Chain A
C-alpha cells in the first residue's frame, strides 16, 4: 500500500463515518420507533431517543389472543413460513436433478438458458392467467396455491444456483466411480449429493428468503388470515389507519429479522455467489 497523507486519512475516515450513518440510520430508526412509547413518536419536536424502553408492541404482536392484532400477525407469520417452506422444498426437488443434468450434459443446456431467461418476465405477464387458474382449482387464498405460484420465481433461481454448485464438483470423481462399477443412483447418492450439500443448503436458504420477501403475487392471490403472508400484512398495516407508528415499525423489525440474520451470517457465501455470476458474465 502507498503511504497515506494525514489529510487523505482524515478524508477517508470522515467518508467512512458518513457511509456508516447513511446505511445504519434508517434501520436504527426503525428499531428505535419499535421500542419508543407512542407519545415520543408523535411529539414535536420529535424525540429521537426513547424516554423509556417500551416493549409492549412486541408483546402485542407475538401474543395469540383471538381477534387481536397479534393473532393476525402470527397467522401471517405462519403463512409466510408455510408458503416459503413448501415452495423452497418443491423448488429444490425439481431443481437438483435438472441442475445436475445441465451441469454434466452440454447438449441440453439450451433448455437451461430458456428456464433462466424467464427471470426477465415481469410477474404481471403471468398474473392474470395464474389468477384465473387458481380460481378454477379453488386455490385462491390458499397457502398451497401461493406456494405453487412461487415456483415461477424459485425454480429457475434454485436451478441456476445449483448448476454453478455442481459445476464446481469435478466430474472426474464421478467418472472414476463409474469405472469402478458404481451405478448412477449410487454415485449421486453417495458422492455428488453429499459433496453438493453445502451449496444445496445455501440455495435453499436464498430461495426461502426470496419467497419470504415476495409481495406482488401474495397481494393478488391472498385475501385473509388463511393465506395472507407477512409482507401483505405489513403493507396493510402501513396503508391502514393504524395510529401507532411504533406498531408498524415493530412488525417491520420482526419480518426483517430472519433475512438480516441470514445476510450477516452468510455474507461471504452471498458475495461469492454474486460475483461468480458477475465474473463469468
Chain B
C-alpha cells in the first residue's frame, strides 16, 4: 500500500468532519471578518463598506475599555482563586482521613451542575429579600440589614466571582489530586527523612509533578473565563450600571440587542484576537515548562 493512497484515504475519512467544520465554523468566521468592515444591521440592511471605522470606534470607546478591564478582573481573580483553592483541596484530599472517598466523589457535584443552574442557584442565594446569604449573615450577626449583593456595583462582580469559583475549583482540585497521586511515595518519604519541611517538600518534591497538569488547567480556565457569558447573563445581565459587563456581554448587546451586526462583528474579532494572544502566550509557556522539566 502506497503512502499517497494512505494519505488520500485519511483525507477522505476526514472529509465529513472538515465539511461540517467549514460550514459551521470556517464560513461564519470569514463572514464575521467581512461584516466587521461594514455597517450591516442584524436584520434588513446589507450595509456598505466602512473600512476600519468599526474597529476604530470600538477600540477607542469607553464601553470596550471598561468591559476589557471587567473581563480581566473577572478572569484573573476567579482563575487565581480556583487554582489556589483547587491545590489546597487536592493536598487535603491526598491526606488520610475518614470519609475521604465520599468527599472525593462529592467534588464532582459543582462541576456537573449545568452553568445556568449554578447561576440560578447563586442568584437565589444572593436574593436581596429572601436570599440565604442575607439570612445567614444576619442570623449570626455579621450583617445588620439585608443587602442587594447583585444589585450594588460594589459587590456584584465579587459575588459573580464567588459563584464561578465554587463551580470550577473542584475541577482543578480533581486534576491536581490525580497529579499528586503520581508523586512516588518513596521520594516523598525520603525527603522527610532528609529533613525537608512541609514548605520545601511542596516546592521541590510535589510541585514539579503538579506543574504540568496545573498549567494546562490554568490555560483552559483562563480562556474560558475570558469568554465568560452564561453565568453573568443569568445573574446580572452585565448590570448594575454595567459593572459586570464583560466583553462577551458587550458583543451580545452590540450585535443582538442593538442589532448592529457590523460593529458587533468587529468587537467579536477583537475579543477573538485577545483570546488567541492569551492562548499563544500560554502555549509558549507550556513548551518552555515542558523543556525545563
Contact = CB atoms under 8 A, between A and B. Distances in A.
Interface of A: 1-2, 4, 9, 12-13, 15-16, 19-20, 22-24, 26-27, 29-30, 33, 41-42, 44-46, 90, 93-95, 97-98, 100-102, 104-105, 107-108, 111, 115, 118, 120-133, 135, 148-149, 151-152, 155-156, 159, 184, 212-213, 215-216, 219-220, 231, 234-235, 237-239, 245, 248-249, 252, 255-256, 259-260, 262-264, 267, 270-272, 274-275, 277-279, 281
B106 A118 contact: no
A26, A115, A148 — which one has the most chain B CB atoms within 10 A of its CB?
A26
Nearest to B235: A238
Contact of A271 (B29, B96, B166, B174): B174
Contact of A107 (B10, B27, B252, B267): B10
A125 B122 CA distance: 28
A277 B212 CA distance: 10
Given A23-B170, A130-B24, A120 B279 contact: yes
A222 to B, nearest CB: 13
Nearest to A237: B120
Nearest to A107: B7
B14 to A, nearest CB: 4
Given A46-B130, A127-B255, A277 B216 contact: yes
B197 interface: no
B279 A16 contact: no
B3 to A, nearest CB: 8
Interface stretch (B49-57, B76-84, B225-233): B225-233
B292 interface: no
Given A122-B248, A216-B248, 14 more contacts: A94-B16, A97-B14, A111-B18, A121-B29, A122-B227, A127-B252, A135-B43, A231-B114, A238-B120, A239-B234, A248-B120, A260-B112, A270-B108, A278-B216
B88 to A, nearest CB: 8
Given A22-B166, A94-B16, A212 B114 contact: yes
Contact of B174 (A26, A220, A274): A274
Nearest to B276: A120
17 contacts: A16-B97, A27-B113, A30-B121, A30-B124, A121-B275, A122-B271, A127-B255, A129-B31, A129-B32, A219-B233, A237-B120, A256-B112, A256-B113, A256-B117, A259-B114, A267-B108, A278-B175
Nearest to B193: A2
A215 B248 contact: no
Contacts of A19: 89, 92-93, 103
Task: Determine chain A's interface SS by DSSP, over half rule.
Answer: helix
Contacts of A108: 7, 10-11, 14
A159 B275 contact: no
A27 to B, nearest CB: 5
B99 A16 contact: yes
B68 interface: no
B255 A125 contact: no
Given A97-B16, A239-B234, A260-B112, A125 B10 contact: no
Nearest to A262: B112
B132 interface: yes
Contacts of B284: none
Contacts of A95: 17
B103 A20 contact: yes
B174 A278 contact: no
B112 A259 contact: yes
B114 A125 contact: no
B124 A125 contact: no
Interface in B87-124: 89, 92-93, 95-100, 103, 105-117, 119-124
B114 A213 contact: yes
A231 to B, nearest CB: 4
A45 B135 contact: yes
A252 B286 contact: no
Interface of B: 3, 6-7, 9-11, 13-14, 16-18, 20-21, 24-25, 27-29, 31-32, 35, 42-43, 89, 92-93, 95-100, 103, 105-117, 119-125, 127, 129-130, 132, 135-136, 138-139, 166, 170-171, 174-175, 178-179, 185, 189, 192, 212-213, 216-217, 223, 226-227, 229-230, 233-234, 237, 248, 251-252, 255-256, 261, 264-265, 267-269, 271-272, 275-276, 279, 286, 290
Contacts of A44: 135
A16 B42 contact: no
Nearest to A212: B114
A101 B13 contact: yes
Contacts of A131: 42, 256
Contact of B110 (A23, A107, A125, A272): A23
A97 B13 contact: yes
A256 B248 CA distance: 25
B179 A105 contact: no
Contacts of A270: 108
B77 to A, nearest CB: 18
Contact of A156 (B21, B286, B290): B21
Contacts of B166: 22, 26
Given A23-B107, A126-B28, A279 B120 contact: no
Given A23-B106, A121-B25, A267-B105, A248 B13 contact: no
